[in-house]
Amino acid sequence: MTRPPAARVLHAGVLGAAVLLATTACGSGGTDRAAGAPSAAAAASRPSAPGSASPVGALTTAQAQSALLTEADLGGPWAPTQGAATWRDGVLKARTDAPDCQRLLDALYADELLGVPTATQAVAGFDDADDAAQLHYQVLALRAADVDRTLAWLRTLPQKCARFTATTTRAGVQDVQVLDLALPEAGDARQGLRIAFFGASDEGGTTTLTLDVAVVRVGDDAITLTDGAPGPVPEDLAGQAAQLGAQRLTDIHRQARAQAGPAAGR
Confidence at residue 262, expressed as pLDDT on a 0 to 100 scale: 62
Opening angle at CA 171, ends 167 and 173, nearest 5: 35
Q: Decide if 242 contacts 192 (C-beta within 8 A).
A: yes
Neighbouring residues of 147: CB distance < 8 A, sequence distance ≥ 6:
114, 189, 215, 217, 222
Task: Tell me the C-alpha to C-alpha distance, in Å, between residue 171 and each of 72, 93, 129, 213.
Answer: 34, 10, 21, 21
Residue 110 lies in a domain: yes
If one counts every other C-beta atom within 10 angstroms of the C-beta of residue 50, the result is 5
**pLDDT for 46-86, tens place per residue?**
433 333 333 446 889 999 999 999 999 998 899 999 999 98
Confidence at residue 18, expressed as pLDDT on a 0 to 100 scale: 39
Total number of domains in the chain:
1
Distance of CA 93 to the CA centre of its chain: 20
Q: Tell me the one-letter amino acid at 126.
A: F
Task: Tell me the C-alpha to C-alpha distance, in Å, between residue 244 and each of 37, 100, 127, 240.
Answer: 13, 30, 19, 6
- Closest by CA position to 193, among listed 181, 205, 203, 185: 181
**pLDDT for 143-175, tens place per residue?**
999 999 999 999 999 999 999 999 998 899 999
Q: Which domain does 239 fall in, by range?
A: 4-25+62-265
* CA 152 – CA 225 distance, rounded (Å): 17
Residue 50 lies in a domain: no
Residue 182 lies in a domain: yes
186 phi and psi angles, rounded to 5 deg: -115, 135
Q: What is the CATH number of the domain that holds 157?
A: 3.40.1000.70
Residue 43 lies in a domain: no
Residue 98 lies in a domain: yes
> Could you read off the pLDDT tens digit of each residue along the chain, which spans 266 residues?
444 444 444 644 443 443 333 333 333 333 332 333 333 333 333 433 333 333 446 889 999 999 999 999 998 899 999 999 989 999 999 999 999 999 999 999 999 999 888 778 999 999 999 999 999 999 999 999 999 999 999 999 999 999 999 999 889 999 999 999 999 999 999 999 999 999 998 787 899 999 999 999 999 999 999 999 999 998 889 999 999 999 999 999 888 888 877 655 45
* CA 2 – CA 116 distance, rounded (Å): 32
Residue 146 lies in a domain: yes
